[in-house]
Amino acid sequence: MLSSTADCLFWLGRYSERAGNVARGLAATLRMALLANPLSAADEEWRALMIATGCEPGFRQRHPVLSQDAAVQWLALDPENPSGIAACVEAARRNARAVRTALTVDMWEAINDTWIEFRRLDSSAIKGDRLPGFLDWVKSRTLLFNGAAADTMLRDDAWRFCHLGTMLERADNTARLLDVRHAAFASDAAADAANYAQWQAVLRSISALRAFQHVYHARLSPAPVAELLILRPELPRSLLACYSRVEQTLESIAKANGGGRGECHRMAGALHARLRYGRIDAVLEGGLHDFLTGVIDQNMVLGQEIARFYLNGRQP
Amino acid sequence: MTKDAGNNVAERPASAFDEMRADGGIRPPYAEMARFLEATGQAALDQKRREAEVLFRRIGVTFAVYTEGGDPERLIPFDVIPRILSREEWERLSKGLEQRVRALNAFLADVYGPKEILKAGRIPAELVLENEGYLKQMEGFTPPGGVYTVISGIDLVRTGPDEFYVLEDNCRTPSGVSYMLENREAMLRLFPDLFTAHRIAPVNHYPEELLETLKSIAPATCQGDPKVVVLTPGPYNSAYYEHSFLADEMGVELVEGADLFVRDHVVYMRTTAGPQRVDVIYRRIDDDFLDPEAFRPDSVLGVPGLMAAYKAGNVALANAPGAGIADDKAVYPFVPEMVRFYLGEEPILSNVPTFMCEREADRDYVLANLDKLVVKLARGSGGYGMLVGPHATQEQRADFAARIQARPGDYIAQPTLALSTVPTLCESGIGPRHVDLRPFVLFGKSVRMVPGGLTRVALREGSLVVNSSQGGGTKDTWVLDDAPRCLQGAAARGKSSQTQTQTQTQTQTQPAGAVPGPLPGPGEN
């Protein structure tokens, strides 16, 4: 496959996933902010989401004061925010159009219809009562795209690079969502209502509140929540599940492309192994924040290594 | 002549030949179509037109216009009433087209080689050698297979039952073939009954023919199955849909300049499995942008070193750089001469008489008759910078007169032809609209064509400009293998049409002369 085609498919997977993730983050934060008055400052919630999505520096440049309206506008509709939903939809569609013939009709329609619909939106779409509906819609569009890809694509390199992007982005997102609330997982964190709400918010933002009950049959507490998100193979958004898919996918790409392997394969293997054989006690002891920033950094390097090996076009 | 009649003539100076109705009757290829249109009515046709639009939008057959604001991805209007040619008409055209393309290639090989035609004084040497379209880098070089115009689009117009003229030759990167193919697909879905009533020559094998042709010009250094790619300027090009469509249909990679690189005079594409050698490039990028090392240094669309690789004989380019000299509007008047000079034959297809404003006598005539002529830029395309004299205002004509006097060499003029018309679905019903025809001619080891081509139609009443950038639309073009069969009013009869269709479908699936197999017994279905 052309390196540039692989590049577009990879970023199509990433941007489509990112749009859904930002919507999830927004929905969870909105809920926290509503409950916030007795528990913590609502603004703190919005600041936390900004940091988690990596959108804070750009936001601060344009908005001296943090307010819910400004934050939602920046994350959902402002095309100037490169990690906002609007820019993600635009970038996903641009990449999809460039490799239109590598996609199935269902995938193309999923992304193209989202784009068409998005262009019709005005700022009233995210005001007041309409915001939750809007966020559900974005989430459902990402689910539709992922479903269309999973159900209709040939399992060839086109599928692999798209899937690789989705999984890498998803791992990044899970790590960031957890990291932004790492304080609630510190060894001295009180088991009070405020922290309980934090643990809930983490689970809710990756649609795993119910899953927690199914796996642990217990009241929320920091170690199991962290374990579910980091080390449990059965949760599709856990770091372990994502890196397991990343490693597998890179392996099949290597096999389909002459068997050559590089730093990206080594890194993916190492990351996966560390999670597969890791223990949550050790992770928490070493500090959750340090662990997660380590993962986020390595995830970024892994992305660069994948680009270097497959997406930029090696020359002899 | 009465006064009234005189007025009529003045309003419609073009007493155009209508391809369906001539001499008060219906011409044979349209016999069934005329009945069908009669029986179907405006509302049903409008409905079909809307369906077609949804279809094209869905597939994404768009034409990108990035200069005028608004939605950049536009549909080219598609007219649901086809343009129909008989087999005999097409046979004659295709012979003429083959002859013309052979002559154009012989001309290119000659002017970049021995220059016999110039030495013989049949074409003024300076007209060719000092032309912007003449590419000095190609002198003394023979492209792989000796072919220059692997893909040509020859624009034809018609003025009578047997009068076809070549309006212009397109020897660089002619576009529109994707519309020819998509129009047929749309018609098959919209009007299956009509296809049962007509034996229409298929066109859908064009991509295979194109791929075969491209493979046939692979350079001698190529080993194994030639690796073919389509080189596009990218998604912002107006014809990007066509580039991706053709690559997809041929099953080859669609590449941009950045996907290719040259090492030791060999072209490679960057793939996830490392560099892969490329043998044939169907390039949809203009000469100027092909290679920043050979042509425009500021081009970011091309591939540095591509020309050197080409001249080292390691890659084939379709069409060859420099092929544009053959379709230059100043060279056009000499094409019939090329046919005689190289092939020793009389041209089958005529040229439109052309006045070259550079020549004093021609210029004087043009300036005196601007109200009767079409004036074109000698090096323009897409219908821009064009004056249709009879339809122009006094001011526009004065403006063009000034321009011609300032730079006579830039302009040519031709009589305003009464382009033929074909019934077309318009707001106010079915009306005659002017059309042209662009058949696509493939030339590798042999000449290949699919029957028909792209019919472009000027949708505005009375307009003669068919370019899609100027409000033109397209039609499906049918070449009939024999006279149409009667549909027996299937559309008009309502209920009975259902059974009619079913019988006909069955007939079709059973080829004539085939021995029918045993019918399944009860319960064996």
- CB of A224 closer than 8 Å to CB of A218: yes
A186: number of Cβ within 10 Å: 14
Task: Check CB contact of A4 with chain B, cutoff 8 Å.
Answer: yes
Q: Does the distance separating the beta carbons of A316 and B256 come in below 8 Å?
A: no
- CB of B375 closer than 8 Å to CB of B386: yes
- CB of A245 closer than 8 Å to CB of A159: no
- CB of B188 closer than 8 Å to CB of B420: no
| Cα distance between residue B234 and residue B241, in whole Å | 10
B510: number of Cβ within 10 Å: 12
Q: Which residue does chain B place closest to A119, by CA atoms?
A: B71
* Nearest by Cα to B259 from B288, B287, B227: B227
Instruction: Compute the mean pLDDT over every residue in chain A, rounded to the nearest whole number.
Output: 92
Q: Does the distance separating the beta carbons of A257 and B270 come in below 8 Å?
A: no
- Dihedral sign for Cα A33, A34, A39, A42, please: positive
Secondary structure string (H, E, C) spanning chain A:
CEHHHHHHHHHHHHHHHHHHHHHHHHHHHHHHHHHHHHHCCHHHHHHHHHHHCCCHHHHHHHCCCCCHHHHHHHHHCCCCCCCCHHHHHHHHHHHHHHCHHHCCHHHHHHHHHHHHHHHHCCHHHHCCCHHHHHHHHHHHHHHHHHHHHHHHCCCCHHHHHHHHHHHHHHHHHHHHHHHCCHHHHCCCCCCCHHHHHHHHHHHHHCCCHHHHHHHHCCCCCHHHHHHHHHHCCCCCCCHHHHHHHHHHHHHHHHHHCCCCCCHHHHHHHHHHHHHHCCCHHHHHHCCHHHHHHHHHHHHHHHHHHHHHHHHCCCCC
Q: Does the distance separating the beta carbons of A100 and B261 come in below 8 Å?
A: no
- CB of B339 closer than 8 Å to CB of B349: no
Average pLDDT score over residue span A143-170: 96
| Cα distance between residue A182 and residue A288, in whole Å | 6
Q: Which residue does chain A place closest to B235, by CA atoms?
A: A98
With H, G, I as helix, E, B as strand and everything else as coil, classify residue B23. Answer: coil
Q: What is the pLDDT of residue B384?
A: 59
What ipTM goes with this model?
A: 0.83
Q: What is the pLDDT of residue A123?
A: 85
Q: What is the pLDDT of residue B325?
A: 96
B306, HSE (Cβ side, Cα atoms, 13 Å):
33
| Cα distance between residue B114 and residue B110, in whole Å | 5
Burial (CB < 10 A; 0-12, 13-18, 19+), residue A182, is buried
Q: Please, which pLDDT band fits residue A100 given cuts at 50, 70 and 90?
A: confident
**Complete DSSP assignment for B412-472:** EEEE-----EEEEEETTEEEEEEEEEE-EEEESSSEEE-SS-EEEEE-STT-----GGGTE
* Nearest by Cα to A237 from A211, A209, A212, A206: A206
**Of residues B60, B248, B272, nearest to A1 (C-beta):** B272
Q: How far is B237 from chain A (nearest CA, A)?
A: 12
Whole-prediction pTM: 0.82
Task: Check CB contact of A1 with chain B, cutoff 8 Å.
Answer: yes
Give φ, ψ of B103 to 5 degrees. -65, -40
| Cα distance between residue B301 and residue B284, in whole Å | 11
Q: How far is A266 from chain B (nearest CA, A)?
A: 17
Q: Which parts of B32-108 are beta strand (E)?
A: 63-64, 73-74, 78-86
Which residues of chain B does A256 touch, with a Cβ-Cβ cutoff of 8 Å?
A: 273
Distances B294 to A84, A95, A109, B291, B459 between C-alpha atoms, Å? 43, 31, 42, 5, 42
Task: Check CB contact of B44 with chain A, cutoff 8 Å.
Answer: no
Residue with tokens 């459902």: A140
With H, G, I as helix, E, B as strand and everything else as coil, classify residue B355. Answer: strand
Mutate to test the interface with B, among A100, A257, A265 (most CBs of B within 10 A): A100
Helix B31-59 / helix B177-190 crossing angle, nearest 10 deg? 110
Residue B8 is encoded by which pair of tokens? 């009529």
Mutate to test the interface with A, among B246, B271, B276, B281 (most CBs of A within 10 A): B271
A210: number of Cβ within 10 Å: 10
Q: Is A235 left (phi over 0), alpha (psi -120 to 50) or beta?
A: beta
Q: Does the distance separating the beta carbons of A97 and B235 come in below 8 Å?
A: yes
**More confident call, B487 vs A125:** A125
**In sequence order, what are the residues at sequence separation of 6 or more whose Cβ sits closer than 8 angstroms to the Cβ of residue B415?**
B352, B353, B372, B373, B374
Q: Which residue does chain A place closest to B267, by CA atoms?
A: A315
Give φ, ψ of A82 to 5 degrees. -65, -20
| Cα distance between residue B75 and residue B525, in whole Å | 45
Average pLDDT score over residue span A91-102: 90
Using 50 as the pLDDT threshold, list the residues of chain B that sit under it.
1-14, 68-69, 382, 489-525
A5-14 confidence digits (pLDDT tens) = 999 999 999 9
| Cα distance between residue A126 and residue B46, in whole Å | 39
| Cα distance between residue B475 and residue B466, in whole Å | 11
Q: Which residue does chain B place closest to A95, by CA atoms?
A: B235
Average pLDDT score over residue span A256-280: 96
A50-86 confidence digits (pLDDT tens) = 888 888 888 989 888 888 889 999 999 999 999 999 9
**Of residues B60, B235, B274, nearest to A98 (C-beta):** B235
Q: Does the distance separating the beta carbons of B263 and A313 come in below 8 Å?
A: no
Q: Give the number of beta-carbon pairs within 8 Å between A and B.
A: 61
**Of residues A4, A310, A316, nearest to B275 (C-beta):** A316
**Helix ranges restricted to H, B295-390:** 306-311, 335-338, 360-368
- CB of B510 closer than 8 Å to CB of B227: no
According to DSSP, the residues that pair with B480 across neighbouring strands are: B86, B200
**More confident call, A301 vs B496:** A301
Return the C-alpha torsion angle B7, B13, B15, B18, nearest 10.
Answer: -120
B466, HSE (Cβ side, Cα atoms, 13 Å):
23
Q: What is the pLDDT of residue A31?
A: 86
Task: Check CB contact of B259 with chain A, cutoff 8 Å.
Answer: yes
B200 DSSP 8-state letter: B
- CB of B136 closer than 8 Å to CB of B282: no
